Structure 1
């Protein structure tokens, strides 16, 4: 169930309870500006592809002082404004590229001062009164700053509020205990909307304006799954953008960004290009460019998005691209010619730092095989639904891939193992749980994987599911893909449990996953699997964590549990 315009102010206020300007900055849909807390004031950065926040500082500090030159502290943050001194003054957006600081609506005009310092150390003070009630700070794409008096502060404040209330009018309504975090997660998706030059005026919901300013293929799938509950049109747009730049042979690029696409190692700077060669591989040509993509979950995401709103003509057009992409995996990424595609580089797995990639490349991995089986089965179903293709080849290929996948099963250890350039990898990781997604595993194997999820020595850490088993020598509860919990891999395990006939276990893991996000204080990139807290190096306000929390919250909420938003 979606919110309405009547619900929007209350939902925006719920999201505001989480906007601390530390983990969650102040921003605006389509804007590249990020405002963070700095003492009793704020600092301002731009958001750019492959540039750190430190490289993108515009203001080191901005403070508001009263008529006696005392600093007015920040007293409240809402999606549409930052309030100083109990609401006397506010900071709002004046369009995507500018900020306005001025007297709040309904407050008596009094003299006050806005003071800001640029990274070069220059400090500017602007004293405002009834004759000049606000200051406008325009920030250009090159991070240059210009300032001037403005009489449009209240109009800017109203315009920003209208943008955010329109966004929150689409926020899903969920169970009472999940509503506050759902509002924050809906804010994250709106906050992460940007425009990319390569996409024209299209809206890309990026993984994070804090360090991930581009449309990553895998992220687009997960983000679309959450967006569908409130804005199915924007969800479809994410998939369409991910599919727009398919190569002639069908490969989908890893990233669409403001300078173009990242589809092979040749799209990287020379130093990175050399580092990405398949060094140590006896199978792959070490001189050839390395294709860079993401796992084949396109048909899964398409099916999810179409569950909430039919778009048959649009879906048929996307399926043409997805079928070609699926064919590419078998034609372009089966480097040893055995019928089982491999990852040519860790980037293409989405789990870059997993220990399954510590050995030589390419890597045969059970998760990739599972995704390919699931995608062929989805494509067969779509072919039967739309009668626009032959389902039989997809079914046959799924059966062949499944047989090869079962060849990776280690019955003695009770896991699916990976191979590095043909040699068995001993690591016990979350990729070994992904074959549940096929829904076609022999029952004894499915039961063994279910037992692994309940085993404290493997995947039943205090906050499950770790990306590396707790007993594995490479386990680290905080190091990227080597032991923390990621919301997207949890969701794929949940999907696998459902597909394999374990709905109770799926719901239990869904409940534990939403509990993790709430315990950890927000939709972070990944979480410590022992403490449940944000891992120190994890990005905050992370897109797929937010989107998938929303999807889980909607799934866990029934008509009888819908809240009264006040």
Structure 2
């Protein structure tokens, strides 16, 4: 059985300080590689790394002034010193010279600072030839808001602050760098050994709960478990609650959908923390039952007038007419709350928690039908692209609101999940209305099937198609339907989740999953079919592979009677993450590598890799 130290070492193989920064659970401090040293930032809601600079460089030198570069990283410490061989130093110099700046949808990704210059090999060779014992210095955390350095007593530390000022400090017995809320740094003497032991202990406790999986999946599972631990933050508005954010690089908040996916993966090692994510997501319902899109350190994001200006600017650049709506549009995420609640309770039952949260889930589900059926035809719509979770999907190129087949499928599934949860935790409750509503919604969903196209169709402007499956014409109340949105997207595969499609329709969707011209690509399911004019292998939600949609389609295949095909898709998805080098936000479906603008060390990708690994091991 692999112990916690072994798992931490496996995760450490991926801590390059470029795609994965050095950080600590609950800390807002991030450390990235910068040349032979590191740079330091804070992690803040809706702010880019460039706005959160603490130190532009931290460089360690020996007694003679020679730089001691970063030689390796573990979750609990960064080590500066000399390499055992010149080859190792040349590899690092080469990798640094190949760094490039990337920018994610909401913030800069790791590696966005100045890249290291090439041509260091001769300098490294001369350093490697020095005589005498090799000095060693380690960097670790001394609590969430402070860094600690210690080791070789005659070493020195050079600090470059954002204002350009440079200062040097002798290491002595150790120093502490205390980061204040305003990002200023105070330099103090500190006991390094205690900080090193404490930081190691935090990570040892975390990795003790890491799921044990199949040997070929264990290393990436360990790294993904590190990602979840690294992304734990405290949100001041919630007291001591532990929120796992999608990424400390640009996504500092608890997004409703992310919380569901993260809880599903987290349940395998820490079911208590998994329940805590759902508790936060469900904690702030609006008076009508709607759950907010985001819970963040300044409150919640529940309507479009709560959007930060950076999001409004993005919408304006895309030509959106809803960047500044005259009336606020509710912002939420697709209804997977009962699905996530059921999965978390499967890992560790908690009837009291279940009953408390189930009431909020029911209120949220009722809100979709009362507050988001914007054309009153019986099928709720997305009033804003953000509420879909697939913000940039081409189905939102048409008029809003959007009636989409994925939403219909989620609503059917959620009503059935609610009925099952009530039967278990509230046996005296009458669940008939949820089962009946699921049947009605399924009928409306089937009206979105276009037999000629062989796929489900979304409708801009809301109102869905006519009264026969695959038909066109009038809506359910006799009026004309909305604008048919012709894009062939992964949303059209998600009705498989209901497990109740007519056999010919389900078989047609399975064939689409296998079709190499549409969704059956070498590395997995693109979010837009490769044959579609809207397909782009790099553009967010318009072609790249996302782990969550692949996982949901796999569940749909299993629910619809193809468990072996579901397993194949799960195997393909974990192979993608390993090939791509980690749980990135999304992947190029042609290369299987991180898409240019995707965030690295992304929470739900990490959590769902773990869930898939456990499923495939079982």
Name the TM tier (shorter chain). Answer: over 0.9
The 3 A distance-change label for structure 1 pair 279 and 24 is closer
Aligned equivalent of 2:391: 352
Determine if the alignment matches structure 1 residue 229 to structure 2 residue 264: no
**Which runs of 5 or more residues in structure 2 are unaligned?**
83-134, 462-481
**CA positional deviation for 1:272:** 5.8
Aligned equivalent of 1:106: none
Aligned pair partner of 1:506 in 566, 582, 593: 566
**CA positional deviation for 1:322:** 0.2
Aligned equivalent of 2:476: none
Q: Tell whether the 8 Å contact from 2:210 to 2:269 is kept in structure 1 after alignment.
A: yes
Aligned pair partner of 1:89 in 133, 137, 140: 137
Matches within 5 A, 1:87-486: 88-103=136-151, 109-128=152-171, 132-150=172-190, 152-269=191-308, 287-386=326-425, 387-421=427-461, 422-486=482-546
Paired residue total: 542
Per-residue deviation, residues 23-79 of structure 1 (Å, max 9, x unmatched): 000000000000000011000000000000111111111111011110011111000
Query: Whole-Å Cα distance in 2 between the matches of residues 350 and 476 of structure 1?
Result: 18
Query: Whole-Å Cα distance in 2 between the matches of residues 367 and 338 of structure 1?
Result: 17
**Which runs of 5 or more residues in structure 1 are unaligned?**
104-108, 559-566
Determine if the alignment matches structure 1 residue 529 to structure 2 residue 589: yes
Query: Whole-Å Cα distance in 2 between the matches of residues 261 and 286 of structure 1?
Result: 19
**CA positional deviation for 1:273:** 6.3
**CA positional deviation for 1:21:** 0.3
**CA positional deviation for 1:268:** 2.7
Question: SS of the counterpart of 1:34?
Answer: strand
Structure 1 residues 46-55 or 266-275, which shifts more? Answer: 266-275
Q: Tell whether the 8 Å contact from 2:339 to 2:417 is kept in structure 1 after alignment.
A: yes
Determine if the alignment matches structure 1 residue 46 to structure 2 residue 42: yes
Query: Whole-Å Cα distance in 2 between the matches of residues 372 and 296 of structure 1?
Result: 6
Query: Whole-Å Cα distance in 2 between the matches of residues 270 and 153 of structure 1?
Result: 42
**CA positional deviation for 1:390:** 1.4
Aligned equivalent of 2:16: 20
**CA positional deviation for 1:457:** 1.2
Aligned pair partner of 2:51 in 47, 50, 55: 55
Q: Tell whether the 8 Å contact from 2:46 to 2:308 is kept in structure 1 after alignment.
A: no
Per-residue deviation, residues 344-381 of structure 1 (Å, max 9, x unmatched): 00000000000000011000000000000000000111
Question: SS of the counterpart of 1:71?
Answer: coil
Question: SS of the counterpart of 2:364?
Answer: helix
Question: SS of the counterpart of 1:72?
Answer: coil
Query: Whole-Å Cα distance in 2 between the matches of residues 293 and 273 of structure 1?
Result: 17
**CA positional deviation for 1:389:** 2.4
Q: Tell whether the 8 Å contact from 2:518 to 2:530 is kept in structure 1 after alignment.
A: yes
Query: Whole-Å Cα distance in 2 between the matches of residues 24 and 276 of structure 1?
Result: 29
Query: Whole-Å Cα distance in 2 between the matches of residues 122 and 210 of structure 1?
Result: 26
Query: Whole-Å Cα distance in 2 between the matches of residues 402 and 89 of structure 1?
Result: 63
Matches within 5 A, 1:63-82: 63-82=59-78
Q: Tell whether the 8 Å contact from 1:19 to 1:26 is kept in structure 2 after alignment.
A: yes
**CA positional deviation for 1:472:** 0.5
Question: SS of the counterpart of 2:533?
Answer: coil
**CA positional deviation for 1:270:** 6.9
Query: Whole-Å Cα distance in 1 between the matches of residues 515 and 553 of structure 2?
Result: 15
CA RMSD of aligned residues (A): 1.7
**CA positional deviation for 1:512:** 0.2
Question: SS of the counterpart of 2:362?
Answer: helix
Aligned equivalent of 1:564: none
Structure 1 residues 372-381 or 384-393, which shifts more? Answer: 384-393
The 3 A distance-change label for structure 1 pair 403 and 170 is same
Q: Tell whether the 8 Å contact from 1:57 to 1:119 is kept in structure 2 after alignment.
A: yes
**CA positional deviation for 1:110:** 4.1
Q: Tell whether the 8 Å contact from 2:14 to 2:20 is kept in structure 1 after alignment.
A: yes
Matches within 5 A, 1:489-500: 489-500=549-560
Query: Whole-Å Cα distance in 1 between the matches of residues 188 and 364 of structure 2?
Result: 51
Q: Tell whether the 8 Å contact from 1:437 to 1:496 is kept in structure 2 after alignment.
A: yes
**CA positional deviation for 1:388:** 4.8
